[in-house]
Amino acid sequence: MALAAGAANADSHRWQRALVGERKVGQVEITRRESEGHILETETLVLELGAPGRHVSYRVVQSTESASDGALLRAVREVKTREGHFLVEARASGDDLEVANGAGHAKSSQKLPGAARSLKSDVFAQSWLAAVGRGENPAPLSFQSWDPVKLAVVEVTWRRLPDTDALRVERRVQSSNQLTASTLQLDAAGHVVRESMRLGSFDLVLVESSEAEARAKNEVLDHVSQQLQKAPYRIPSKDMRAKIRYSFDNHGVAPQLPVGAGQRTWTDGQTTFIQVCAECVLDPFALSAEDRKLALQPTRWLQSDDARIAQRARSLAASARDDAAKMKRLTSFVREHMSVERIDMLGYGTAVEAFTTRRGDCTEYAVLLAAMGRAAGIPTRVAIGSVYARHFEGHRHVFVPHAWVQAWTGSGWQSFDAAIGTFDSTHLAFAVSYDGSPANHFAGASLAHELTLISAARVVPRKSATN
């Protein structure tokens, strides 16, 4: 959502309908307040997500406080679902940026020296948008901002799209490892009246509406089913421990996929292959000094330096004979520690939030296990991909989105899955994340959706010739 994406306007209160296809699945309330040279814009998005007979409201509140010249003063993003509550706040303090994640016992904070220098909000783009509304074709506008989803300083670029009549612009947000974009339709005053964006596995469209239209009843969006891929065959238990080769249609774009931890991958033209063997000898992998540093350091999502996580991890790992044995103990702990309540695959918590609330889905299991591994001195990273399920939410024999942990146990990466309890040859990794952030997770999930699974087969070893 593009906050303050419109020509200069005094206090205002606007509404939008949230559409997927022709279905109304939610609404957005947008308020703008000006006071003593400060501008506060707040967008509240509510989506109805779930499945027939069971749904949950997914509520995202995003606020930006800016100076009148567009300088970013404060950015807040709050996500509320039945699974939990996530809050991130970034506040400028001179040239420094103070960032806080979570709330209460799950709160962590960090100061980024010099990061607030020259940061802008979308208020800075108001005059540019007004020019587009007047029919002008200004040069693209770029500036640095803070993105509360990517948890990073980003480069924001606005450019007018080459349409002859429509006043359409593109807003691109580039971080160090991810690019996202949305397309916006303007009116003659430069106000946004329509915005289209990719949200997970579906296209979300926000359309300017009256309050009554926005508040009309929402349909439930089955966000889970759209992320599933039908398995090419019913995979028996014996195959799940053997070597399986999968082929995907990459639609002409060769992906960069992770290797190691039982997975090999290669591309031949429009076909990308992934081969996984859960019980094969691990491929040797030399861990560079830089990768080791990344795989051991605490991050805003993997808080291995949290006193409670560190104490529990070291206690559990103390008498284990090697790093693989330590990870098995930590995996068992996380699996028993986390709640088994029904989950809705919503939200994304940190390791501290998972440890404290004991709630979440596979992502929370993974970030907690990765943080505990690091606290025990073991390099870890989060794997993002999919896994085979015989039964899932009324669907049979499908691959579902999943996350687990890869740990470097001495000679190579080895997989550990606290959510399911075991790693098998139906785990397909599309991305790995060293910082555990949701930005990397969603990038991996998007790649999984862009590749079409077309075949899978057990690889049978050739019989050696005999005399």
| CA–CA separation, 140 and 160 (whole Å) | 7
User: What confidence score (pLDDT) does residue 341 get?
Assistant: 59
C-alpha separations of 330 from 340, 367, 416, 417 in Å: 17, 12, 9, 10
DSSP run (H or E) holding 45: strand 38-51
| CA–CA separation, 239 and 456 (whole Å) | 11
C-alpha separations of 11 from 34, 130, 289, 409 in Å: 6, 17, 53, 57
- Burial tier of 460 (Cβ tally within 10 Å: 0-12, 13-18, 19+): exposed
| CA–CA separation, 436 and 301 (whole Å) | 6
- Burial tier of 379 (Cβ tally within 10 Å: 0-12, 13-18, 19+): buried
User: What confidence score (pLDDT) does residue 102 get?
Assistant: 63
Q: Cβ neighbours of residue 269 under 8 Å, at least 6 residues apart?
A: none
Give the dihedral sign, CA 457/458/459/464.
Answer: negative
Number of H helices, E strands in the chain: 9, 23
Contact predicate 436/299, CB 8 Å: yes
Contact predicate 282/323, CB 8 Å: no
Weakly modelled stretches of the chain, pLDDT under 50: 4, 465-467
For 144-159, what is the HEC assignment? EEEECCCCEEEEEEEE
Give the dihedral sign, CA 222/226/232/235.
Answer: negative
User: Six-digit token pair at 270?
Assistant: 């429009």
User: What confidence score (pLDDT) does residue 118 get?
Assistant: 92
C-alpha separations of 332 from 87, 352, 384, 387, 413 in Å: 29, 18, 20, 19, 19
For residue 289, the Cα-to-chain-centroid distance in whole angstroms is: 27
Q: What angle do CA 345, 353, 338 make, to 5 degrees?
A: 65
C-alpha separations of 302 from 76, 108, 349 in Å: 20, 11, 10
| CA–CA separation, 224 and 19 (whole Å) | 17
User: Six-digit token pair at 338?
Assistant: 């986390």
Tell me the per-residue pLDDT of 253-270, one tens digit each, with 9 for 90 and over: 888 899 999 999 999 999
User: What confidence score (pLDDT) does residue 446 get?
Assistant: 74
Contact predicate 195/203, CB 8 Å: no
Instruction: Count CB atoms within 10 A of the CB of residue 464.
Output: 5
Considering the entire predicted model, what is its pTM? 0.71
